Amino acid sequence: MDRMLVVVFDTENKAYEGEKALLQLDREGSLTVYAHAVLTKKDDGTTIVLRSDDSGPIGTLLGPTWGALIGLLGGPVGVAVGAGAGLVAGSAVDLGELRLGTDFIEDVTKLLLPNRVAVVAEIDENWTTPVDTRMEAIGGTVVRRSLSEVQEKIHDEHVAAMKADLAQMKAEHAKAHADRKAKIQEKINQLEAKLKAQLQKSKERREAVEREAKAKVEALKAKAAAAKAKVK
């Protein structure tokens, strides 16, 4: 199951231990780590990415959910870039790109207080015990959430609602008197523009999710090839 994982630690050293343990679990086959980063929050609320995994076919910010999550954790101040991290996430975050509930963000924000450090990772895990056991032993607090397609359904519902409104307005326009037609047409034009923008947004989101899915497949293939080569 694809999940977003956040493990919060009191110190940077502990967080790096947590990162090491997570990658060890990946090597053991207990889970698959698609992308991960170590970040901390400063006193002013700025999130600094201390280290990230930007190698391989995925890259740390390829997925829209990943970028949206890190941007939200940065709060209104936005995200600063750690030396050599290679990450940039703006303060303007589209909640429509987030395949996670806002309650998840709230839970993480309550834990990720200033000067605390977190390991953030997009993973595939079938059971939670391996991660929880390793992280708790190091002193980490684990928050996880399965990724969903809820936002895609919301986009579709918005499109359906706008199409219904548009059909009704066009029907009214056809029956309206001359003095009303211009005003109704103006509303029709506005709604058509909004509908076009919504459809474009949905298309871009689907394409981003498809790219992420393909990248994950390539990552699994690369790991399998590396494991095979190691056996030889």
Across the range 22-50, mean pLDDT stands at: 87
Q: Residue 85's pLDDT band (boundaries 50, 70, 90)? A: very low
Extents of the domains making up the chain: 2-148, 151-231
Q: Say what the pLDDT of residue 62 is.
A: 44
Which of these ranges, 8-17, 90-99, 102-111, 151-160, has the smallest mean pLDDT? Answer: 90-99
Residue 208 has pLDDT above 60, yes or no: yes
Whether the predicted model's global pTM rises above the 0.85 cut: no
CB 97 within 8 A of CB 126: no
CB 25 within 8 A of CB 119: no
3-state SS class at 51: strand
Residue 8 has pLDDT above 70, yes or no: yes
